[in-house]
């Protein structure tokens, strides 16, 4: 593919169109017609909202690529998805794996590579050619509300090694790989889907901690680096990373020697939208060094007016060029990187095989997924040796999360866990299979005051299962869960076991808790693994990927 000749033949509108990754609502590809055919947009962000099953995904990607192929230059599309363990597509048909933090707990690089190869193979089979993962954020802040299980952990050297393995695995699976969220979302307290976070790191701290995984990912050949909408005032006091030439050009390009594609996180996240107009935001990002602008409107803004914002954002860049604010050389540089990535990845020559969809959720892939989850199960504390008594005790099982908490898991319009089945349900099913006769209670049956159900007090051991899910722009109810545990801990500390189907940070809230098991994940495969570990069917081999006391 002669990239230079193709670039020289393109109009300004065609060039600028290639610099955008846009989302659309629903499963009808015609919703993308204006952007792909009239605007020559070069990439689509695809979610569960667009296709729920492997066959639907295959049909969709074929239709979208045919649409792109009908344009004068016939440039194929980058089709990107957030298949990153904690968030997923084609759920429950696909093998999402347990997520990065669980892989960090497993602490086996070959396992990480294999899991990402499975993810890549399943995406490639349906035409999703770009994995918007791995998250290589070093989760150094325990109260981080949006990264959590999406990170490999807190220890930057380990995160770096797993980041490399993930990139290698994704490439082996046949997809373009993305490292995110540059320069690091792990030390934030705020969710950038809601507002603009600030991180008080110096450049020296950033280089020592957060940039190490990027060095490894770049060394492994990562194709794309996605920016974060985060302000680092000690490095750039004016602009967030997405709009900072200091962070993108001076550090990422010059210091880290990254020559691939720089992609923005969604410019419709409120970190950007509350502070900049759509067109101005895109112009500032392009001037700073962003090569491709992503807008995933329907996932963050439920107003339904995302198409208008997409038009305004593209028009803003076009006006920026025509007014002389954006040099044509900057546009050509960005578009060259887009076209080069498409050429190097074989997108111009790719032909899809409809039979390949059968690999999604295949038996072999499920085995790899299950093994990945099992290796991540971690026994953090067992001060009174309760684990050895599980198989011989009368058990009460308590679901700490209230039923109404699960409603939001599939209500985020595509992005997010997309997990219609609560992790607890998978845990209960496997636990009941292995240890019959367990009596189960819901969160609603455990009052904050007054008498507890007789079956709880009569049990020899009480097992409480907690959950948490990283959700864009909203929170899973963990407050009620904490109330349940504190009530039981006050009355039955000597027989209480907590199983966290989530990152283990909650343990700091319960200094008197004697037994705590974590999966570092709320995925179904992790929940099943936790039940097997608690029942004694598998050993707990995981190690904490974050800084908690193990005693």
Residues with active-site annotation: 193, 265
CA dihedral 358, 361, 364, 367 (to 10 degrees): -170
Q: How far apart are CA 533 and CA 87, in angstroms?
A: 24
Q: How far apart are CA 451 and CA 446, in angstroms?
A: 9
Q: Please check whether residue 417 is in contact with residue 469, taking contact to mean a CB–CB distance below 8 angstroms.
A: yes
Interacting residues of 324 by C-beta distance below 8 A, sequence separation 6+: none
Q: How far apart are CA 115 and CA 101, in angstroms?
A: 13
Q: Is the peptide bond before 245 cis (omega within 30 degrees of 0)?
A: no
Which residues does residue 399 pair with via DSSP β-bridges, in sequence order?
465
Q: How far apart are CA 452 and CA 439, in angstroms?
A: 14
Q: Please check whether residue 251 is in contact with residue 204, taking contact to mean a CB–CB distance below 8 angstroms.
A: no
CA-nearest of 121, 119, 151, 125 to 138 is 151
CA-nearest of 77, 75, 178, 71 to 127 is 77
CA-nearest of 119, 44, 33, 100 to 71 is 33
DSSP single-letter state for residue 422: -
What DSSP assignment string belongs to 55-99? HHHHHHHHHHHHHHHTSTT-PPPEEEE--SSSS-SSTTTS---S-
Q: How far apart are CA 251 and CA 249, in angstroms?
A: 6
What is the strand order of the sheet 378-382 is part of?
Answer: 378-382, 515-518, 496-501, 461-467, 395-399, 439-441
Decide the pairing of beta strands 378-382 and 515-518: antiparallel
Q: How far apart are CA 326 and CA 148, in angstroms?
A: 37
Q: How far apart are CA 440 and CA 460, in angstroms?
A: 14
Decide the pairing of beta strands 496-501 and 461-467: parallel
Q: Please check whether residue 228 is in contact with residue 192, taking contact to mean a CB–CB distance below 8 angstroms.
A: yes
CA-nearest of 439, 442, 451 to 401 is 442
DSSP single-letter state for residue 153: B
Residue 452 to residues 93, 366, 464, Cα–Cα distance (Å): 39, 40, 14
């Amino acid at each position: 593919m002669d990239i230079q000749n193709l670039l020289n033949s393109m109009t300004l509108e065609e060039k600028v169109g290639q610099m955008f990754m846009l989302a659309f609502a629903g499963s009808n590809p015609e919703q993308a017609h204006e952007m792909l055919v009239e605007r020559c947009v070069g990439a689509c962000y695809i979610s569960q909202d667009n296709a729920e099953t492997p066959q639907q995904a295959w049909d969709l990607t074929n239709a979208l690529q045919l649409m792109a192929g009908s344009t004068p230059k016939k440039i194929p599309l980058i089709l990107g998805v957030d298949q990153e363990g904690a968030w997923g597509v084609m759920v429950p048909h696909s093998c999402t794996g347990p997520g990065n933090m669980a892989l960090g707990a497993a602490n086996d690089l070959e396992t990480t590579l294999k899991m990402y190869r499975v993810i890549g193979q399943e995406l490639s089979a349906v035409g999703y050619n770009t994995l918007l993962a791995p998250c290589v954020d070093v989760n150094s802040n325990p109260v981080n509300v949006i990264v959590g299980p999406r990170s490999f952990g807190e220890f930057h050297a380990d995160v770096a090694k797993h980041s490399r393995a993930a990139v290698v695995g994704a490439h082996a699976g046949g997809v373009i790989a993305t490292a995110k969220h540059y320069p690091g979302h792990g030390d934030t307290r705020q969710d950038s889907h809601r507002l603009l976070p600030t991180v008080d790191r110096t450049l020296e701290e950033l280089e020592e901690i957060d940039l190490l995984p990027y060095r490894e990912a770049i060394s492994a050949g990562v194709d794309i680096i996605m920016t974060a909408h985060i302000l680092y005032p000690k490095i750039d006091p004016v602009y967030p990373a997405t709009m900072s030439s200091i962070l993108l050009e001076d550090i990422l390009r010059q210091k880290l020697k990254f020559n691939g594609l720089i992609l923005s996180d969604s410019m419709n996240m409120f970190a950007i939208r509350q502070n900049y107009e759509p067109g101005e935001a895109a112009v500032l990002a392009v001037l700073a060094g962003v090569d491709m602008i992503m807008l995933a409107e329907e996932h963050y803004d439920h107003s339904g007016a995302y198409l208008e914002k997409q038009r305004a954002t593209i028009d803003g860049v076009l006006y920026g060029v025509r007014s002389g604010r954006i040099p044509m050389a900057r546009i050509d540089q960005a578009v060259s990187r887009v076209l080069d990535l498409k050429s190097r990845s074989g997108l111009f020559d790719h032909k899809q095989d409809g039979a390949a969809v059968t690999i999604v959720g295949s038996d072999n892939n499920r085995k790899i997924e299950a093994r990945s989850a099992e290796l991540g199960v971690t026994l953090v504390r067992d001060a009174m040796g309760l684990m050895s008594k599980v198989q011989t005790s009368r058990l009460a099982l308590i679901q700490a999360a209230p039923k109404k908490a699960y409603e939001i898991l599939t209500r985020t319009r595509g992005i997010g866990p997309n997990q219609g089945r609560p992790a607890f349900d998978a845990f209960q099913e496997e636990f009941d299979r292995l240890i019959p006769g367990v009596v189960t209670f819901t969160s609603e049956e455990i009052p904050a005051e007054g008498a507890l159900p007789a079956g709880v007090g009569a049990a020899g051991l009480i097992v409480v299962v907690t959950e948490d899910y990283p959700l864009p722009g909203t929170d899973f109810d963990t407050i009620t869960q904490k109330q349940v545990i504190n009530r039981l801990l006050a009355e039955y500390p000597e027989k209480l076991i907590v199983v966290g189907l989530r990152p283990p940070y909650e343990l700091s809230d319960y200094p008197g808790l004697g037994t705590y098991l974590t999966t570092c994940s709320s995925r179904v495969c992790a929940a099943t693994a936790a039940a097997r570990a608690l029942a004694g069917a598998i050993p707990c081999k995981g190690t904490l990927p974050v800084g908690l006391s193990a005693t």
